[in-house]
Homo-oligomer: A and B are copies of this chain.
Amino acid sequence: MDALLSRTKNAQKKLLKLSGEERNELLRRINKALKDEKNKKLILEANLIDISNAKENGISPVMVDRLTLTDSKLDKLADSVLDIVNLPDYIGEVIEEWNTPTGLNVKKVRVPFGTIAVVFESRPNVAVDITALTLKTANACVLKGGKEAINTNKALVKAMKNAISDLTDPDVITLIETTYRSATNELITKKEYIDLLIPRGSKRLIDFITQNAKVPYIETGAGNCSLYIHKDADIEKAVKVAVNAKIQRPSVCNAIENIVVDKEIANKFLPKLMEAFNGNNEFGKKIEVRGDSLVNSIIDSKPATDEDYYTEYNDYIVAIKTVDNIDSAIEFINEHSTKHSESIITEDVSAVEKFFNEIDSACVYHNASTRFTDGGEFGFGAEIGISTTKLHARGPMGLREITTYKYVINGKNGEVRK
């Protein structure tokens, strides 16, 4: 492991010598390689092995679907690399500049982290996405995928490494081929080689990282999001947002899991909501509702436990809680939330201000769906993950969020400190 990571670290130093245009050329080569018929054949064959193994191991159809690459999926993946070429080059950007009274010129300059490790599960597109985003920003990447996708990941990485090998050191892309969990255990302690670790996957994976990592990391993706229907909500907007945030794509982290409702408006709002959640919605889906006793008394629903309010269902289930006022709502949300995204529906601007100020989450919304928390929707052009920590980056992370800075200080005459 040390030898492998040391090669990656050295390769990254060579990336520093390439211009932004030269780094874009690496991405264009990767795009071409993923569209090359021979490579495609090898990648899809490897993917078939993974799919067959997955089915043999009784992996759920949803997971098999995530694992599956097709010719057209591969084409899309290749095209997404070209999209990243067209994004700005942030490396070298002078973020701030000033002169000191002591005669120095100080520049705060945007630079790459160095080596970024990403531990991810099943979806093989992550290997390509991460490679493109890190090379664009002059970072090297260390990829540790799940064992379900190991053959696909190997084939993808081999094609990408070959594609860039005459332009730079191909070890800027490093795949950890050992699929044992122990390889992850080792990787996340290698402080001398890894500058940043980003876990992408299940809550179990992320909890494991936060308990065991010795390298700097950013937690991503846990999304127990809430929608709060304030007493002065427009009911129509409330139902529209609830349907979108719960039903449009329940498996993602920015979908809502809880709805918090002011008691004062519960009698008006809940029956309208239930009408939509009973299948009368544009998606034709029914939602299972769990709620407190007031909710149970107004609409047909099951009793909710406190555990329910902490749960990220990622499914057609919602937990509803009624509260006395906005203070109770904020307290409830801050207690149960994973600090991802929360939304308030109200026509009262002072309630909005209070909610924005006191809710401790990466993204806070007014009269809009939490589903917008996304690098693409935010206009970042790319997304490396959605941070739920407060250190370094919060919410959707694009290219700038996988950079750091250094201070570059120019003296003239050998300036010294008094």
Interface residues of A (CB under 8 A from B): 13, 16-17, 98, 100, 102, 104, 106, 113-114, 191, 195-196, 210-211, 214, 216, 218, 234, 236-238, 240-241, 243-245, 248, 345, 352, 356-358, 360-369, 371-373, 377-379, 389-392, 394-395, 404-417
Contact = CB atoms under 8 A, between A and B. Distances in A.
B414 A234 contact: yes
A113 B404 CA distance: 19
A414 B114 contact: no
A352 B412 CA distance: 12
A84 B292 CA distance: 48
Contacts of A392: 391-392
Contacts of A377: 100, 102, 417
Stoichiometry, as copies per complex, reads 2
A373 B240 CA distance: 54
A378 B417 CA distance: 12
Contacts of A243: 416
A254 to B, nearest CB: 9
For A102, A196, A357, A409, the residue with the greatest tally of chain B CB atoms inside 10 Å of its CB is A409
A408 B364 contact: yes
A217 to B, nearest CB: 8
A413 B409 CA distance: 49
A152 B355 CA distance: 40
B414 A238 contact: yes
Looking at A196, A356, A358, A416, the one whose CB has the most chain B CB atoms below 10 A away is A416
A102 B390 contact: no
B100 A378 contact: yes
A409 B368 contact: yes
A137 to B, nearest CB: 13
Contacts of A218: 391
A5 to B, nearest CB: 15
Q: Which of A236, A364, A369, A406 has the most CB of B within 10 A?
A: A406
B394 A345 contact: no
A379 B100 contact: yes
Contacts of A191: 210
